[in-house]
Amino acid sequence: MSTGSPTLRSRRRMRAGVRRALLLTLLVGLGASTFASADPTDPAERDREPRLEDFAEAIDLAPREARAVHTVLIPIEVYRGVTRPDLGDLRVFDARGQLVPHALRALDAPGDREPSPVDLRFFPIMSPATPTGLEDLTLHVVRDGSGTVVEVRSRSSAVDGSRRQAGDGLPTESGSIGAYVLDTAELAHPLTALRFELAPSEGDYVLPLTVETSDDLTRFASVGSPRSLVRLTYAGEQILQDRVELPAVRARYVVLRWGTARLPAPLVRVTGELLGERESAELVVHRLSGRRHADDPQRIDFDLGGFVPVERVRVALTEENALVAAELLAGPRVDGPLATVERGTIYRVATGGQTLESPAIGIARRIDRFWAVRAQTKGGGFGATLPELEIAYHPQQLLFLARGQAPFILAFGRHDAQPSTFAWQELLGFLPESERAALPRSDVDASPPRILSGEAARVPPPPPLPPLPLRRYVLWSVLVLGVGALAIAAWRLVRDVRD
């Protein structure tokens, strides 16, 4: 029995072929679209918390005693080894590699660290001949009913300590002043610095100054090494050094004397700077060498090596009798612009048997890695020997729970790690107030850094091919193949019809 003419059978075969081509094109297109839009990264792998071995370096932390919360000051190796300025790629693990909750805090918030300066009451002690020490003077202190000092006098004279302005009863002959006594008994916080203002006078001076403390004006204790008050005119610039730093002095009296030197002018004002209410971490100081900038011989570049929170800077000249007008710069990128931090005069001058150097300057905290000092050309700039950069900062405190087995491990340096820290108030919220107040700055012994994954952990992998062009290429390829398949099917159909 016949199933139809050859032409009819050919048409049926071609229709079936076209349907198969269309179906194949559709299936391939759907598969290619799914492939092109798929994320090759496993979501579970992408979102997981980094493990200990994922970090670049680690420091072992061995607690000295049993506590619920341990503390350590952030070492400079951590500031130089993290990839984020907020220390977000820092984690704490126990000895088995399990994550431990941690928090960071600053022990030295600027508002807490720097109370307003206070004017101090001072009393000149007169002496016919300047003594070599206050032990040669007999002092008598008079206080009013509230306990305020109103008079301090030596064997032969007395000057009261009411609030002073220039010329209001102060001795006019500074050479007859043997010492000054500052009344510091009522200060709420320890003294950290003194700033002096002398009466107007002519000429330069270098006044070696000895600072002593006493509670009874009978026994005296020296505070630190001798300092100097300085006013010098050198190479057309004036050097003025009128501030003296102290190591957190707390005493009833602070005594100033200058040995056999002659006081250039009477004091008219003394201002004291006080320690803040919150305990500060110790100031950490590092000194760095620099190199000349390739395109600017008057610019010296410095690389801090990481995100160090700099708060004080001093440019240290290495040549004697050098005076340089300079500009201090800083920025986050080695190839980017640097912002001006400070302008001023830097000096290192030998005079009067001692070497005077420009002091450190306090700045708002900066975490820029790259610093530079640019000298003006007048005066010869920096000369043949490069200056050094001295930076100082208060390290942050790391707090972590004593969960798991010791020693604990501080891991840092991971290119894709996100911040995973508690607020320090949350971490300490369960502790009684007495224990929170008694937390030490650091109660662990920290080892030197050791390598985990090394530099590879800090460097992100090469980026994958952009997803949009890949999807476009795949879809266009499928479209061209589909059109080609339909064209072949149509050509065969036409050929069979003709046959």
Please return the burial class of 65, using the count of CB atoms within 10 Å of its CB with bins 0-12, 13-18 and 19+: exposed
Tokens matching residue 430: 């369960």
Mean pLDDT along residues 153-165: 47
Cα–Cα nearest to 215, from 250, 258, 267, 189: 250
Can you give the pLDDT at residue 309? 94
Number of alpha carbons in the 13 Å side-chain half-sphere of residue 197: 10
Q: Is residue 496 within 8 Å of residue 10, measured between CB atoms? A: yes
Mean pLDDT along residues 310-328: 91
Cα–Cα distance, 268 to 165 (Å, whole number): 6
Cα–Cα distance, 441 to 76 (Å, whole number): 16
| Higher-confidence position of 85 and 35 | 85
CB neighbour list of residue 191: distance below 8 Å, 6 or more residues apart: 184, 246, 248, 249, 250, 254, 272, 273, 274, 275
Mean pLDDT along residues 17-44: 55
Cα–Cα distance, 180 to 196 (Å, whole number): 12
Cα–Cα nearest to 398, from 30, 72, 14: 72
pLDDT digits (tens, 9 = 90+) for 419-451: 988 888 888 888 888 888 888 999 999 999 999
Residue 130 pLDDT > 70: no
Banded model confidence at residue 166, pLDDT cuts 50, 70, 90: very low
Tokens matching residue 458: 């800090």
Mean pLDDT along residues 158-164: 45
Q: Say whether 284-393 and 113-274 share the same fold.
A: yes
| Higher-confidence position of 125 and 64 | 64
CB burial string 120-150: b at 16+ within 10 A, e below: bbbbbbbbeebbeebeebebebeeeeeeebe
Q: Is residue 89 within 8 Å of residue 414, measured between CB atoms? A: yes
Interior CA angle at 98 toward 96 and 101, to 5°? 135
Mean pLDDT along residues 470-488: 68
Residue 464 pLDDT > 80: no
Residue 123 pLDDT > 80: yes
Residue 493 pLDDT > 90: no
Residue 235 pLDDT > 90: no
Average pLDDT, the chain: 80
Q: Is residue 306 within 8 Å of residue 412, measured between CB atoms? A: no
pLDDT digits (tens, 9 = 90+) for 186-198: 888 888 889 999 8
Crossing angle for the helix pair 6-37 and 467-498, nearest 10 degrees?
A: 180
Banded model confidence at residue 120, pLDDT cuts 50, 70, 90: very high
pLDDT digits (tens, 9 = 90+) for 404-420: 999 999 999 999 999 98
Percent of the chain with pLDDT over 70: 71
Residue 176 pLDDT > 50: yes
Residue 70 pLDDT > 90: yes
Banded model confidence at residue 216, pLDDT cuts 50, 70, 90: confident
Can you give the pLDDT at residue 162? 42
Residue 154 pLDDT > 90: no
Can you give the pLDDT at residue 474? 66
Cα–Cα nearest to 95, from 393, 333, 382, 407: 407
Which range of 48-52, 394-398, 470-474 scores highest in mean pLDDT? It is 394-398
Can you give the pLDDT at residue 140? 52
Cα–Cα distance, 56 to 82 (Å, whole number): 9
Task: Give the single-character DSSP code of 188.
Answer: S
Task: Give the single-character DSSP code of 134.
Answer: G
Banded model confidence at residue 167, pLDDT cuts 50, 70, 90: very low
Banded model confidence at residue 159, pLDDT cuts 50, 70, 90: very low
Q: Can you give the residue ranges of every domain in the chain? A: 6-37+464-498, 56-106+396-452, 113-274, 284-393
Cα–Cα distance, 493 to 244 (Å, whole number): 102
Q: Are strands 90-93 and 299-303 parallel, antiparallel or unpaired?
A: unpaired
Cα–Cα distance, 432 to 309 (Å, whole number): 31
Mean pLDDT along residues 316-338: 91
| Higher-confidence position of 410 and 379 | 410
Mean pLDDT along residues 200-204: 84
Superfamily the domain 284-393 falls into = Galactose-binding domain-like (2.60.120.260)
Cα–Cα nearest to 394, from 202, 168, 107: 107
Cα–Cα distance, 4 to 267 (Å, whole number): 127
Cα–Cα distance, 20 to 13 (Å, whole number): 10
Can you give the pLDDT at residue 192? 86
Residue 80 pLDDT > 60: yes
On whether the 113-274 domain is CATH 2.60.120.260, my answer is: yes
Write out the DSSP string of 195-224.
EEEEPP--S-EEEEEEEEEESSSSS-EE-S
CB neighbour list of residue 463: distance below 8 Å, 6 or more residues apart: none
The phi and psi torsions of 158 (rounded to 5 degrees) equal: -155, 145
pLDDT digits (tens, 9 = 90+) for 343-376: 988 888 887 777 888 889 889 999 999 999 999 8
CB neighbour list of residue 76: distance below 8 Å, 6 or more residues apart: 284, 286, 306, 308, 395
User: Residue 229's Cα: distance from chain center in Å?
Assistant: 30
| Higher-confidence position of 25 and 382 | 382
Return the C-alpha torsion angle 409, 412, 414, 416, nearest 10. Answer: 90
Cβ–Cβ contacts within 10 Å for residue 304, how many? Answer: 21
pLDDT digits (tens, 9 = 90+) for 259-311: 778 888 888 999 998 876 555 567 899 999 999 999 998 999 999 999 999 99
Cα–Cα nearest to 277, from 115, 106, 434: 115
Residue 2 pLDDT > 70: no
